[in-house]
A and B are shown apart, each in its own frame.
Chain A
Amino acid sequence: MDVEAKRIMALSISKLYSLRTQRGGLRLHRSLLLSMTMRAARDIYHTVQLLKDTEEEQVVPCAPDAATEEPMETDSPQTLIQTSKEVAMKPHEPKETLDEDKENRYASERQSRKRRGKTALEPDFLPLKKARMDTDEEKQHLQSEVLRTNNGNSCRQAETLTAFANRAIVAC
């Protein structure tokens, strides 16, 4: 699934680049749609990557803590799905009244402010032309944001995310 997200991300970026050389000037509508799709794919991709990393780290502690994790289980999938929905359903952000705690709401708003416009495209994994001093800093920032939205570190979240993402990528 993250392979699909990565593919769509790469595809979107190459289309955005080719838009610049097209006759008639930059097409605002098309570049908006491309960048929205690219961002949605990027967010899913990063979220999955992060979950994979945290999953690998916490395989051992999960088993003995099965009993104590019960209460979290009911909460976290919901919040995860809701926050992941925010990630993918950007246009509906203003409408969704977020019932979960303020931390998640704040995190999603931060994410929406952080989202860059088409004019400031900075593809993460394509070779960069100029040296960037703050690359690592940005990556940490993004990771910490995702951590906040995940509201914890339950390994059960990986399953619910997969379930959601499968629904999200029906078309693929």
Chain B
Amino acid sequence: MSVSFGGDEGGVNLTNFVCTSHHTADIISTVEFNHSGELLATGDKGGRVVIFQQETENKSQPQCRSEYNVYSTFQSHEPEFDYLKSLEIEEKINKIRWLPQKNAAQFLLSTNDKTIKLWKISERDKRPEGYNLKEEDGRYRDASTITTLRVPVFRPMDLMVEASPRRVFANAHTYHINSISVNSDNETYLSADDLRINLWHLEITDRSFNIVDIKPANMEELTEVITAAEFHPHQCNTFVYSSSKGTIRLCDMRASALCDKHSKLFEEPEDPSNRSFFSEIISSISDVKFSHNGRYMMTRDYLSVKIWDLNMENRPVETYQVHEYLRSKLCSLYENDCIFDKFECCWNGNDSVVMTGSYNNFFRMLDRTQRRDVTLEASRESCKPRQVLKPRRVCAGGKRKKDEISVDSLDFNKKILHTAWHPQENIIAVATTNNLYIFQEKVN
């Protein structure tokens, strides 16, 4: 059975695909393609960043099979200790965001709970040789043996990829950073924690501007926190932030210095028939992403994905159920803490398909134009050569059909929280706990 949707233009056909998987040393905590899609960065719980590079077999043929291989690995963040509060600061990388490429080097921002760092990744494939005072291995030559003078020249060497920290943006967040987003002006970026959003200039590390502050005067009156924030892809004055109450606020930085008053508030009235003890938790938004064209935004809460038109605040234009069969299991999911899992979501290059993860190493692709959806599994079986990706089905209750999986046999430890889609091609990166799967549509 073939899985094909999206039409001829930008359609996604995941039969006859190529899959590679990379085993990681630690739990993957973020995945992000750069703007060209040539590089794919992952961050993990141990504070490491691993960058993969796309290598095409035959560069002259664009549709040819390409592989992502390890390009650079570096330790971005280390565990720290806040002595004043007696708290350990985790080194886990919460988010990575690439800067658009300006010169030969690549830049990315990576953040843990408290500190954001700007990393420069550059290649070195030449080195100077022929020094007068030093041997090639670095030892100094005896001055008496030097009888001639020569000019050192650059000679090719094995490619070396170096990562160096260029900026460290620290001490600006009291609470845990959940988002960073680079502005379309390429000069500023925002960082958001539970209660505040700060605006930084990429060149300036010793100060930032606070643009949103929802901390109440009395913390006992706290009712909601900021869960995600993102800049508009084209309008450098616009950003959105989502809350734990399921609302999204759009702010315009031209309106005032402190954007506590939103320009737009996106909120859907709750369905009273779905009311339960856990309604609060499952309505909390875990991710918000603008579409590439800037006209829509997508939000992910525990059970669904919603697409919002920026011009309509009172309800989303599309709602997709990710795993509705979990609604009757919320109590058990509360017990095992799975109800707090923060799933991310992503758009494909032309905004026709959205993708998000689920449990049992399942991930979902939702085609907006053709109104079709599919559930796929990222597993060793998917990576066998010539293996067709088989759509999966979960049986909510009653009689289980052949090839269906019952809700009770789902493995809730195998969760896909982080997925990413190549900005131009139909290549997706799916992170399970310890493996990074890269699926690519193969066109014959």
Where the two chains meet, the residues of A that have a C-beta atom closer than 8 Å to any C-beta of B are: 4-5, 8, 11, 15, 23-25, 27-30, 32-33, 36-37, 40-41, 44, 88-92, 115-120, 167-172
Contacts and interface: CB of A to CB of B under 8 A. Distances in A.
B288 to A, nearest CB: 15
A171 B278 contact: yes
Nearest to B342: A29
A24 B90 contact: yes
Instruction: Kindly name the residue among B88, B222, B276, B277 whose own CB sees the greatest number of chain A CB atoms within 10 A.
Output: B277
Nearest to A36: B280
A168 B275 contact: yes
Given A23-B88, A25-B87, A25-B89, A32 B220 contact: no
B277 A169 contact: yes
A29 B175 CA distance: 10
Contacts of A24: 87-90, 92, 113, 176
Contact of B194 (A29, A37, A171): A29
B334 A8 contact: yes
21 contacts: A4-B331, A8-B334, A24-B90, A24-B113, A25-B113, A28-B194, A29-B176, A29-B225, A29-B244, A33-B281, A36-B280, A88-B275, A89-B270, A117-B219, A118-B219, A167-B275, A168-B275, A170-B273, A171-B331, A172-B277, A172-B330
B289 to A, nearest CB: 19
B141 interface: no
Given A24-B87, A25-B85, A30-B340, A172 B276 contact: yes
A45 B93 CA distance: 40
Contacts of A170: 273-276, 327-328
Given A25-B88, A41-B277, A117-B218, 12 more contacts: A24-B90, A28-B175, A40-B277, A89-B270, A89-B275, A92-B270, A116-B220, A118-B222, A170-B327, A171-B327, A171-B329, A172-B277
B99 to A, nearest CB: 27
Given A11-B334, A24-B176, A28-B194, A168 B224 contact: no
A33 B277 contact: no
B328 to A, nearest CB: 7
The 4 A-B pairs at the shortest CB distance, nearest first, are namely A117-B220, A171-B330, A24-B90, A171-B276
